[in-house]
């Protein structure tokens, strides 16, 4: 170790150069090779113990087969995606058609990488599952920012689409090399430069979101049509009447019973139903909630449901929600209320099954609610239309009718319950 620390700059450069030459042997990736060699570390004349330690670890790391294999994979990717030889690499056009020097192109790529880290970490902090509708706007933003950085590559994507998203996913998967990340961090430590922020979890989230959303979302606005505000309000009152009677019959001992929704107890089911009402109120008030995982029942589940239904009905009638639009897609408020009707009726059926009670809930509006469910959920989930910070949807498999409301697997898609907010963290 002492000998390694006392090596001259020339000797240290020779170690790194031989390492790069060996790792990239036979791979024609001159730009990638030049970038690696340009980063050869030079220890200062009076290095700190931390810098000496980083160099000693770096000297050992460059002998590791896994690092050499990882760098070779990255070089092969660089060679495969490099522009054709006849294309001048010195400058590329930006979004306005102006020439962008190679250095500016590199800076743009760094900014996009930082944007991906920031957006990925924000999504994780907000509890947005990568396969949820709420992840799609994040993916769209990242792809739009990334596309201009690809103008110097072979067959660059011109717009967001399956080709662009597949290319970005391939880049992220190729770059996900822990040994390479450690290599660059040690280089920074040796030279005293700030280390780049670690974005492993954010990168994992972004890659998972790209897999879940391989193409841009195309909104089907047919779901926004044929929603009668007065009829929706009537349906809500009918459903709350029958579901509320079921909730009133639930004893404290019943709260632990299982339900047809796998993994949900009666208490979790009721909590979710209360949250649906409260969420609708918050949307009407212009401040959508983000407390899906909180306890919304307290010590009195009956009062919690009654209070939430009363507040929702007041919001529907007093705020003008039924006649307004919400979110970037201008979703009709009446359609959002219709979704609450669907949720409560479907979960009311779950509750009836769990309690061994009759499932003939709100028969006068059940059939039209099924029609609305198929129309609405075939187009978009509310989290996609209104609440970009919402948690992702979960699917609750259903069997049999509920008051004339059949349950095809694809019929009713909704958010995860209180115990499911962190589902499917892809890795």
Q: What is the mean pLDDT of residues 72-98?
A: 62
Q: Is the pLDDT of residue 298 over 60?
A: yes
Instruction: Quote the pLDDT of residue 274.
Output: 96
Tokens 């958010």: give the residue: 415
Q: How many contiguous H segments (helices) and E segments (strands) does the chain have?
A: 16, 6
Confidence of residue 106 (pLDDT cuts 50, 70, 90): low
Confidence of residue 74 (pLDDT cuts 50, 70, 90): confident
Q: What is the mean pLDDT of residues 212-224?
A: 77
Distance separating alpha carbons of residues 12 and 9, to the nearest angstrom: 5
- Is residue 345 a contact partner of residue 243, using CB atoms and an 8 Å limit? yes
Contacts 24+ apart (CB under 8 A), 290-295: 290/126, 290/127, 290/389, 290/390, 292/127, 292/390, 292/391, 292/415, 292/416, 292/418, 292/421, 293/127, 293/418, 293/421, 294/418, 295/271, 295/418
Contacts 24+ apart (CB under 8 A), 144-149: 145/111, 145/112, 145/115, 146/112, 146/116, 148/94, 148/95, 148/108, 149/105, 149/108, 149/109, 149/112
403 CB-near residues (< 8 Å, 6+ apart): 242, 345, 349, 359, 360, 361, 362, 363, 366
**Nearest residue to 271 via CA among 288, 291, 285, 286:** 291
Q: Is the pLDDT of residue 368 over 50?
A: yes
Q: What is the mean pLDDT of residues 114-136?
A: 85
Instruction: Quote the pLDDT of residue 382.
Output: 39
The 10s digit of each residue's pLDDT in 236-256 is 999 999 999 999 999 999 999
Instruction: Quote the pLDDT of residue 358.
Output: 94
427/170: higher pLDDT: 170
**Nearest residue to 143 via CA among 163, 119, 168:** 168
Per-residue H/E/C for 242-280: HHHHHHHCCCHHHHHCECCCCCCEHHHHHHHHHHHHHHH
Q: Is the pLDDT of residue 86 over 50?
A: no
Distance separating alpha carbons of residues 389 and 217, to the nearest angstrom: 17
67/352: higher pLDDT: 352
145/128: higher pLDDT: 145
The DSSP call for residue 324 is -
Confidence of residue 85 (pLDDT cuts 50, 70, 90): low
Distance separating alpha carbons of residues 144 and 8, to the nearest angstrom: 46
Q: What is the mean pLDDT of residues 311-320?
A: 94
pTM (two decimals): 0.51
Q: What 3-state DSSP class applies to 405?
A: coil
Mean of the per-residue pLDDT values of the chain: 78
Confidence of residue 103 (pLDDT cuts 50, 70, 90): low
Structure tokens at 39: 């980063």
Instruction: Quote the pLDDT of residue 102.
Output: 54
Across 34-43, 210-219, 292-301, least confident range? 34-43
Structure tokens at 251: 């004893």
Radius of gyration of the chain, Cα coordinates, nearest whole angstrom: 28
Instruction: Quote the pLDDT of residue 84.
Output: 54
Q: Which residues pair with 414 in a beta bridge?
A: 394
């Amino acid at each position: 170790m002492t000998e390694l620390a006392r090596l001259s700059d020339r000797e240290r450069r020779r170690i790194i150069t031989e390492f790069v030459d060996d790792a990239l042997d036979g791979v024609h990736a001159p730009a990638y090779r030049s970038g690696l060699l340009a980063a050869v570390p030079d220890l200062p004349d009076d290095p700190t113990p931390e810098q000496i330690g980083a160099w000693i670890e770096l000297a050992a790391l460059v002998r590791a087969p896994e690092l050499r294999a990882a760098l070779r994979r990255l070089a092969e990717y660089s060679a495969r995606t490099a522009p054709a030889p006849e294309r001048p690499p010195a400058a590329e056009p930006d979004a306005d058609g102006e020439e962008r020097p190679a250095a500016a192109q590199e800076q743009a790529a760094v900014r996009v990488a930082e944007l991906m880290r920031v957006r990925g970490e924000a999504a994780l902090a907000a509890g947005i599952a990568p396969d949820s509708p709420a992840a799609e706007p994040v993916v769209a933003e990242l792809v739009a920012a990334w596309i201009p950085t690809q103008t110097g590559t072979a067959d660059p994507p011109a717009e967001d689409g399956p080709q662009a998203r597949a290319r970005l996913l391939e880049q992220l998967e190729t770059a996900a090399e822990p040994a390479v990340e450690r290599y660059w961090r040690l280089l920074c430590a040796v030279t005293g430069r700030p280390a780049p922020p670690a974005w492993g979890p954010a990168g994992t989230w972004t890659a998972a979101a790209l897999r879940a959303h391989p193409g841009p979302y195309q909104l089907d606005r047919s779901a926004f049509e044929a929603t009668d505000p007065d009829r929706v309000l009537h349906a809500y009152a009918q459903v709350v009447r029958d579901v509320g009677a079921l909730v009133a019959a639930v004893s404290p001992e019943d709260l632990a019973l299982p339900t047809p929704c796998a993994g949900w107890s009666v208490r979790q089911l009721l909590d979710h139903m209360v949250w649906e009402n409260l969420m609708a109120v918050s949307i009407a008030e212009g401040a959508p909630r983000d407390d899906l995982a909180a306890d919304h029942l307290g010590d009195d589940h009956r009062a919690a449901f009654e209070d939430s239904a009363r507040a929702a009905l007041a919001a529907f009638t007093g705020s003008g929600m039924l006649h307004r639009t919400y979110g970037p897609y201008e979703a009709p408020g009446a359609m959002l209320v219709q979704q609450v009707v669907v949720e409560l009726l479907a979960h009311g059926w779950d509750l009836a099954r769990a309690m061994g009670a009759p499932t003939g809930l709100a028969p006068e509006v059940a059939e039209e609610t099924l029609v609305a469910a198929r129309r609405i959920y075939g187009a978009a989930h509310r989290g996609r239309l209104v609440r970009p910070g919402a948690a992702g949807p979960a699917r609750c498999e259903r069997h049999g009718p509920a008051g004339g409301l059949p349950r095809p697997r694809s019929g009713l898609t909704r958010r995860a319950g209180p115990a499911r907010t962190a589902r499917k963290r892809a890795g």
